[in-house]
Amino acid sequence: MHFLKDRGFVHPASSEITPRAVYEQRRTMLAALAAGGSGLALAAWAGREAMAQTPRPNKLAALPGQRSAVAGAATMERPTAYADITTYNNFYEFGTDKADPARAAGTLKPRPWTVAVEGAVAKPRSFDLDELLKLAPMEERVYRLRCVEGWSMVIPWVGYSLSALIKRVEPTSDAKFVEFVTLADPKQMPALGSRVLSWPYVEGLRMDEAMNPLTLLAFGLYGEVLPNQNGAPLRLAVPWKYGFKSGKSIVKIRFTDKQPLTSWNRTAPEEYGFYSNVNPNVDHPRWSQAKERRIGEDGLFAKKRATQMFNGYEAQVASLYAGMDLKKFF
């Protein structure tokens, strides 16, 4: 064993007493701290640590992202394991069971892929996936995802702010809302015959919500392209809203002057409003929203976590809703 002499103390080199992987993670963390000492750096370390802990035989194409400078873009919380993020999914086009998407989404073809951007914009046009991948620098954003059903995850996404794409098409003054339409192809999606929802899956945001830098157009997670079950090749990630606001496998983005009729709002208007901001004080009509179960922490004695207002992004987004009655606009 080697010893390092350091300010009079003698202690073993860390490489001697810790397993190699842990040692390397620690070096990554120290490098990250040296690079800025910020929470962003620490969260990036946490993401890599979680990734390192998950052995992954079938890696997808690499999609690295740089550290994001967007406020709130990197929670300090430990990311959920890749295996959990990619096997416990809601993607009703492939079935309603949590395991269905991972099992059945192999039929989804994420290439070639185009996204039509239209409506109240000066420059409506279609974007090819390769063009979208190059449109803005990819960033790593570690976001909490809170599902309306009462569970949550922490996901290290790769993508860029939706605002980068929006600016390209130059919205007109009529653009008050944005509608997101996702793929509905019965040849690729076996459960489209089911009547649980009206297809295609449609979601929407108010224009200022869509332009908020936290609203992410996600192309990857854990430094790789999105697995089909998580919404390949591109989906939305709106971290302060319940997960269903973040449509998967988007094919159309339309700017309108009217609030879009979303799939969930159409199916159960008394349960799923247009805003769907995470709010522990506004219960779902059939259950409380005060607490959540963090996926991966669900052992027999695991405590539920208290759900935070706007899912913990209050500092970044509360001003968007100043003066609004959040019980009425739920």
Note the residues at the interface with ligand MTE (CB under 6 A).
Answer: 89-93, 145, 147, 182, 201, 230-231, 243-244, 246-249
Q: How far is the CB of 181 from ligand MTE (least distance, A)?
A: 9
The C-alpha angle 271, 84, 276, rounded to 5 degrees, equals: 20
Burial class, 319, CB count within 10 angstroms (exposed 0-12 / middle 13-18 / buried 19+)? exposed
Least Å from the CB of residue 122 to ligand MTE:
28
Q: Which is nearer to ligand MTE, 32 or 310 (CB)?
A: 310
The torsion of the CA quartet 107, 108, 112, 114, rounded to 10 degrees, works out to: 150
Q: In the complex with ligand MTE, which residue's Cβ is closer, 79 or 231?
A: 231
Q: Which is nearer to ligand MTE, 156 or 171 (CB)?
A: 156
* Beta carbon of residue 282, minimum distance to ligand MTE (angstroms, whole number): 17
Q: How far is the CB of 323 from ligand MTE (least distance, A)?
A: 29
CB contact at 8 A, 153 and 295: yes
Reading the block at residue 110, the tokens are 């994420």
Closest to ligand MTE by CB, 95 or 171? 95
Q: In the structure encoding, which two tokens stand for residue 214, read together?
A: 């936290």
Contact (CB, 8 A) for 311 and 146: yes
Q: How far is the CB of 249 from ligand MTE (least distance, A)?
A: 6
Q: Which residue is nearest to ligand MTE (CB)?
A: 243
CB of 22 or CB of 147, closer to ligand MTE: 147
> Quick one: 127 or 264, whose CB is closer to ligand MTE?
264
- Shortest reach from residue 15's CB to ligand MTE, in Å: 37
Nearest to 79 by CA among 155, 146, 16, 10: 155
Cβ neighbours of 210 (radius 10 Å): 23
Q: What tokens appear for 125 in the block? A: 């046009």
**250 touches 162 (CB < 8 A):** no
